[in-house]
Structure 1
Amino acid sequence: MNLANMKRSETTEQISLFNWARANEAFIPELRLLHHVPNEGKRTNGAVLKAAGLKTGVPDLSLPVPRGGFHGLYIEMKFGSGKTTKAQEEFMALLRQQGYKTAVAYGAEQAREIIRHYLARAAGFDLVNCEEAVKMFDYCEGVAVDWAPCEKCEFYKANREKGE
């Protein structure tokens, strides 16, 4: 999808985020689970959707990956001067009570930072290192820093074993 001709909005920021996630899911496999909860907009079949379980206030993005004592991550996307609604604040509070991490992101870059921080595999390890690591023939060559936990990285181990 060409975003160049689209006016920037919450939707284009979300598309940009998912383009990033798809481009990196081979090296950060948890990104395969990131998904959008289509809960916004006006619909002609709104009553049917509500009867089928549509709920007001559910955050836009869900990443069902446990990390750092949380069961998963929910992100509400906003753009520009957008504000969370009372229903969104209440739903996120309920999610936090159940052990989920919640966040509000104003744009794709902020959402990426939230996800990178949430999925970090070790203290002080920024997933941007995995994104920027040298990759040849779809194999990660590892991260060129001493403290990177590549030996613990499932993707790195699997690819190293394939290459040996």
Structure 2
Amino acid sequence: MSVTAAAQRLLQEARSEDSRAARLRTDLPEQTWDEETHHIRLIDWATAHIPDLPPLALLFHVPNGGKRAQRISRTGKRYSPEAARLLRMGTRSGYPDLGLDHPAHGRAGLRLELKSLTGELHPNQRAWIVHLRHAGYHADAAWGWRDARQLLLEYFLPAPPATRWTPRSRQPLDDHALPPLGHK
């Protein structure tokens, strides 16, 4: 079975499952999940479906954000040694959470910012999405693991996925400057 056919079959199954969950209200607890829980659920689903859709094995998480242990400096300021180390290593604020380095139908790959159902995009996240779109990636935001799963499966179809987030301007980086490299 081709990647496209497998994605179409899984997308039909996902839509049917999502419809059933909404009808039976079994998806209500997901409304209180944090972003991390949605990430874990999506990765668990993708891992279980690698035999059906092998490119899902290329899905990865970028550990840019998250809460990090903090300490108090000698001057009394709070800081995170791990966050400082990651910044020195080249971590960029706002870079999308998930990536899939598998070209499909003229798109270089997929970059996905996954938010909780109540989450909001930050300016740096919007800037990266715009930049990556202009670089040939399908880059977008999804709210909740079910939305992310649908976008992920639609990525493998010939028609590009419907965008979940649209910038105010269509010019590269216009009103969406990327954050600087290094320390905040």
Task: Give the distance between the partners of 1:49 and 1:8, measured in 2 at CA.
Answer: 26
Task: Give the distance between the partners of 1:42 and 1:10, measured in 2 at CA.
Answer: 11
Q: CA deviation at 1:65?
A: 0.8
The residue number in structure 2 matching 1:11 is 36
The one-letter code sitting in structure 1 at the alignment partner of 2:42 is: L
Higher mean C-alpha deviation, range 94-103 or range 37-46: 37-46
TM-score, normalised to structure 1, is 0.67
TM-score, normalised to structure 2, is 0.60
The residue number in structure 2 matching 1:107 is 144
Q: CA deviation at 1:87?
A: 0.4
Q: CA deviation at 1:92?
A: 1.1
The one-letter code sitting in structure 2 at the alignment partner of 1:17 is: L
Q: CA deviation at 1:74?
A: 0.5
SS of 2:148's equivalent in the other structure is: helix
The one-letter code sitting in structure 2 at the alignment partner of 1:76 is: E
Higher relative contact order (CA 8 A, sep 6+): 2
State the identity %. 38
- The within-5 A match list for 1:14-163 is 14-43=39-68, 44=80, 45-120=82-157
Higher mean C-alpha deviation, range 42-51 or range 16-25: 42-51
Task: Give the distance between the partners of 1:91 and 1:117, measured in 2 at CA.
Answer: 21
Task: Give the distance between the partners of 1:81 and 1:27, measured in 2 at CA.
Answer: 31
Calculate the aligned-residue CA RMSD, in Å.
1.6
The one-letter code sitting in structure 1 at the alignment partner of 2:49 is: N
Q: CA deviation at 1:35?
A: 0.6
Task: Give the distance between the partners of 2:148 and 2:119, measured in 1 at CA.
Answer: 15
Task: Give the distance between the partners of 1:23 and 1:37, measured in 2 at CA.
Answer: 20
Q: CA deviation at 1:80?
A: 2.5
Q: Which runs of 4+ in 1 moved over 3 A?
A: none
Task: Give the distance between the partners of 1:79 and 1:47, measured in 2 at CA.
Answer: 25
The residue number in structure 1 matching 2:174 is none
Gaps (5+ residues) in structure 2? 1-28, 69-79, 160-184
Task: Give the distance between the partners of 2:113 and 2:96, measured in 1 at CA.
Answer: 5
Gaps (5+ residues) in structure 1? 124-164
